[in-house]
Structure 1
Amino acid sequence: MDLPRIFTIRESSHRLHNPFTPGKLAALGQALHLAPGTRVLDLASGSGEMLCTWARDHGVTGTGVDISTVFTEKARARAVELGVADQVTFVHGDACGYVSHEPVDLAACVGATWIGGGVAGTVELLVSSLRPGGLMLIGEPYWRREVPDQETASACLAAGKDDFLVLPELIEQFGGLGYDVVEMVLADQDSWDRYQAAQWLNLRRWLDGNPDDELAAEVRAELTTDPARYTRYQREYLGWGVFALMGR
């Protein structure tokens, strides 16, 4: 049980596996007014940056669950580096269906709502671990503006225009599920650049060091086409944000 290697190659230098900068992650933690001892469950926790930095900065405790062995080991190392290994635990496992043994104060899935088959299913999964009155965090893409055609949607790595909503409709979806949006921090084009463009250097350095690897042709093809695809389509049309929700 693991992520395909291409994912860990592509994002090998990343501490955040989504279009958030450290500053935006810190701003989100501050905006939520996290109290020391807040219990957090982070599903699809990646390299653990959210849990580790919030443990350091706000005194939270919690558990992260991720399917990647590489990212889980990075998360554990980060916890040691920041001196919070006694506050946070990282589990290698499938976040799909994972429910905390005890209710938590904050349940999060930041950028991986496929674990619940979409936004609605992920909200349902997270609420299974959340105490009454607790906070939920959902990280989710949205269209920055209406997508004109299938070509554009495909170039934004969507199956079709209906894969994502424009921002007001996404906010309304949360309301339709019975939740108030009580905070949000949105990626901007600069944070998208820092996430996406950093992948190109990772790919090139890996390719230079592994020219005979079985993935070399796939990596070369991606590196050849991805910068133009991203700048022509994804940078202009695809947004992303983290939304804090509370049940009504």
Structure 2
Amino acid sequence: MHRQQVSSIAHSGHPIAAPLSDDSVHALLDRALPRGDARLLDLGCGSGTWLVRAQTARPGLRAEGVDNDTETIAAARRAVADAGLGDQIAFHVEDAAQFASQHLYDVVLSIGSAHAFGGLLPTLEAAARHLSPGGSVLLGECFWEREPDRATLDSGFTPDEYDDLATTVDRVMADGWIPVHGHVSTLQEWDDYEWSWTGALSRWALDHPEHSDNGQALEAAAAHRTAWLHGYRGTLGFVTLLLRRTTRP
């Protein structure tokens, strides 16, 4: 069972592939997109959930998404069709870090995709290349709520993988960005996300006992649940920042 298949099933029961509630997603999009005719780019769009939500609420939006996984983009296109949006959202099967466009965008979105760019600041550097003057970046990234203990590190993390929240914001500001809004995911949002992640994968395995991937799905869910409950719960945080540049790059 390959990683993308696991992720697709695990995220099927949650409103977004991040520890954010429906209300938080709507509030963040309202902050980021006060104009209904804006041009929006999602770098590392996954199955396109942010784009579908944004486009559904703002029919005049001009939205595009980039992801390097063909199956994920295929799922995104199905989601757009299921939402009755026709061809209103354009998708590109490309490396988000290398994506080039003839357009500049009012808002560039990148939620939980910093690994694809090589870290927090490279993600902002990539986003800035696509940003219209005065535009905004909506960035979602993990941070340490507290110093990671041995249980957290044993669940697959390294101490320097993330900074604390204050240091994360300081680094962003030192790079020439100003936060104009932010949302720190609550423990409830994290718990809802993790129960949904492990539950969706477990449910799929229990509903498909004859499938050859059944055992691997249960193992993946159990490993993730253990890492969460016995490791990073309450230690790993998630912040979504709405940013504008102080100076042009």
Give the alignment's TM-score, normalised by structure 2: 0.87
Aligned AA (2:201)? L
SS at match of 1:229: helix
Report what 1:78 is aligned to: 79
Q: CA deviation at 1:180?
A: 0.6
Aligned equivalent of 1:200? 198
Question: SS where residue 233 of structure 2 aligns?
Answer: helix
What residue number does 2:116 align with? 115
| Seq. identity, % | 24
Partner of 1:40: 40
Deviates more, 1:17-26 or 1:78-87: 78-87
In the TM superposition, what are the counterparts of 1:94-113 in structure 2 within 5 Å? 94-113=95-114
Contact 1:3 1:68 in 2 (8 A): no
Quick one: which amino acid aligns to residue 105 of structure 1?
D
Describe the SS at the equivalent of 2:108.
strand
Q: Give the Å deviation of 1:207.
A: 2.2
Offset of residue 3 of structure 1: 5.7
| Runs of 4+ in structure 1 over 4 Å off | none
CA contact (8 A) 1:20 1:191 kept: yes
Q: Which 10-residue stretch deviates more, 113-122 or 53-62?
A: 53-62
Decide whether aligned partners of structure 1 residues 26 and 212 sit closer, same or farther in structure 2, where only a CA change above 3 A counts. closer
| 1:49 alignment counterpart | 49
Shift of 1:62: 1.2
Aligned AA (1:144): E
2:217 maps to 1:219? yes
Q: 2: CA distance between counterparts of 1:130 and 1:223?
A: 38
Unaligned 5+ segments in structure 2 are: none
Cα distance in structure 1, aligned partners of 2:6 and 2:82 = 26
What one-letter code is carried by the residue in structure 2 that aligns with 1:64? G
After superposition, the C-alpha distances for 1:73-106 in whole angstroms (9 at most, x for unaligned) are 3322332343433432122332231132211111
Counterpart-to-counterpart distance in 2, 1:103 and 1:216: 45
Taking the TM superposition and a 5 Å limit, the aligned residue runs for 1:9-158 are 9-58=9-58, 59-149=60-150, 151-155=151-155, 157-158=156-157
* Equivalent residue letter for 2:169: I
Q: Aligned AA for 1:174? A: V
> Would the aligned equivalents of 1:8 and 1:70 in 2 still touch at CA under 8 Å?
no
Q: Could you tell me whether the CA contact under 8 Å between 1:42 and 1:63 is conserved in 2? A: yes
Counterpart CA distance in 2 for 1:226 and 1:179 is 34
Q: 1:85 is matched by which residue type in structure 2?
A: G
Q: Secondary structure at the match of 2:91?
A: strand
Q: 1:82 to 1:221 in 2, by over 3 A?
A: closer
Offset of 1:12 from its aligned partner? 3.5
Q: How many residues align?
A: 243
Q: CA deviation at 1:183?
A: 1.0
Match of 2:167 among 146, 166, 169: 169
CA displacement at 1:175 relative to structure 2: 0.7
**Quick check: 53-62 or 42-51, which moved more?**
53-62
112-121 or 49-58: bigger deviation: 49-58
RMSD of equivalent CA atoms: 2.2
C-alpha distance in 2 between matches for 1:240 and 1:83: 31
Shift of 1:15: 4.4
**Counterpart-to-counterpart distance in 1, 2:54 and 2:174:** 30
Gaps of 5+ in 1: none
